[in-house]
Structure 1
């Protein structure tokens, strides 16, 4: 089976957009943008189909090229990347996938970016009670070699109501629970890129399974779903 690829012309256009980030240039080159946007959308949809071979995906969201400048000091109107997210289906499947295509800045990410306060509290209570299973998953050879360590913003000492001397405080104080893998331009342009992204997302599955179980049960392990 032949899978879609990211072409060097996509990177060339994004570099040109970065150097000419204004409405006049973009308007003049919008036809070219649409061509490259279409190519990348084919890639995103190709990845969606590959992901569906081992996970249930509810939604593909392709992010727009237009920047929201309302609350930003940077008033340039356009992003110089293409990106998409893939949402897992059903209340019993938590987590999601993200792909970011940008010259000298491509990456994939997965996990839990900004959990709502109820989910965040539930996760922290789990780590307060027991984090052995999570630690075991995070040290699995495949996961560690692909994703490295979990990252994310955290509070400085301990969340309110938690002991700052707890043995799992390094996990309890986190506000985000994410993994990121960076790719070079050469890797992105390689014909095997789509399958390498898919392999990376497949490797994270034990982490998703654990977190899905945590977020759909109470501390006694009883289901919160109807």
Structure 2
């Protein structure tokens, strides 16, 4: 589970997002990161029972993203993220692509799955798979339990125009026009600090798994 002190650290970081404060509290950060790594390992062990494409060699430490922001090309010059991001790849140990993603942030945590902003060739392949086998995807995303957990899959960022090669009257154009193919479920702080937190995340991911299978098949 996530230690309540991890949330306290992140809350205080928001109010003191500067290098001097961070260095003074480096030991607290290290403890929070270790807590997230340990929790990540617990989640991985459960995900491996759900999704056989989660590598048995996947290291929890490598799944936890850096808290340091790249501010070189950003107007936001705050040096640190206000969250811990955890990527669970389904392609060996390579982060990105079709994956599960855990976001740990006070009051704004969530678990997600799918493919966020696919590269051009992958986007083309996924759109083609939807065009050919849309019923397979719709059976997953229109399931009552899926909607209760993740909301309406189609209500994601879409292109304003119709993608090249497709007709505007295509019956699945609302899915074909999507820029990302993700579903996410909010997590309360008390859920993550519960002893059953890893089990709950695994339960939600079991409902994301069929969608990830569809997306991976599109890229095969």
Same-fold call, TM > 0.5?
A: yes
Paired residues for 1:17-166 under 5 Å: 17-55=13-51, 56-58=53-55, 59=58, 60=60, 61-89=63-91, 95-150=98-153, 151-166=155-170
Query: Which of the numbers 199, 211, 214 marks the counterpart of 1:195?
Result: 199
**What is the deviation of 1:15?**
0.8
Aligned to 1:223: none
The list of structure 1 runs, each at least 4 consecutive aligned residues, that deviate by more than 4 angstroms after superposition, is none
Q: Do 2:50 and 2:209's aligned partners in 1 also have CA atoms closer than 8 Å?
A: no
**What is the deviation of 1:63?**
0.5
- Bigger fraction of residues in helix: 2
2-structure distance, mates of 1:181, 1:95: 17
Over the aligned positions, Cα root-mean-square deviation in angstroms equals 1.7
In the superposition, the TM-score normalised over structure 1's length comes to 0.86
In the superposition, the TM-score normalised over structure 2's length comes to 0.88
Q: Which moved more, 1:25-34 or 1:131-140?
A: 131-140
Unaligned runs of 5+ in 2: none
Unaligned runs of 5+ in 1: 217-226
> Size of the alignment, in residue pairs?
209
Q: Do 2:114 and 2:215's aligned partners in 1 also have CA atoms closer than 8 Å?
A: no
2-structure distance, mates of 1:214, 1:24: 47
